[in-house]
Structures are given as C-alpha cells and as structure tokens.
Amino acid sequence: MLEDIKNRYKLYPLDYRGIIKEKEVLAKANQCNVWVISYEDWISKFSNGESKLFLQLFYGKTKYWNRI
C-alpha cells in the first residue's frame, strides 16, 4: 500500500508534494493495519437477519450481472 501511495505522489511536481503533505500522509498510512476479507465473510459477521438477507441477495445479483 505504501508503494502505491508513493507512486501516486511521483505523478506530482516536488513543490506540490509538500503542499499536499506527502510525508504526513505516508506516516499516517504506515500506522494502518490493512487486511482482506471476502464479501462472504463480511456478510457472515452481520447479526441482523434482515440486513444479512439483503446483502446476500445483493451479492447474488452482483455475481450474476458482473460475471467475469
């Protein structure tokens, strides 16, 4: 993630990077914990049955309409 942020900053001139606080953004990003969770695992965390059902139906539709 940090490399992606750095690469994005490289698109800007050096003087502009200071204005948009490149070092502060990188320091804050360096403190983040990032992990991946599947949509199925995320839905399973919901305890509200109505919300869970809605998300499962929505997910089913996305898999149907956005087939790869």
Q: How confident is the model at residue 60 (pLDDT cuts 50, 70, 90)?
A: very high
Q: Which pTM does this prediction carry?
A: 0.51
Buried-exposed string 38-59: b where 16+ CB fall within 10 A, e elsewhere: eeeeebeeeeeeeeeeebeeee
- Read off the pLDDT of residues 24-39 as tens digits, 9 standing for 90 and up: 999 999 999 988 999 9
Tell whether the model's pLDDT for residue 17 goes beyond 80. no
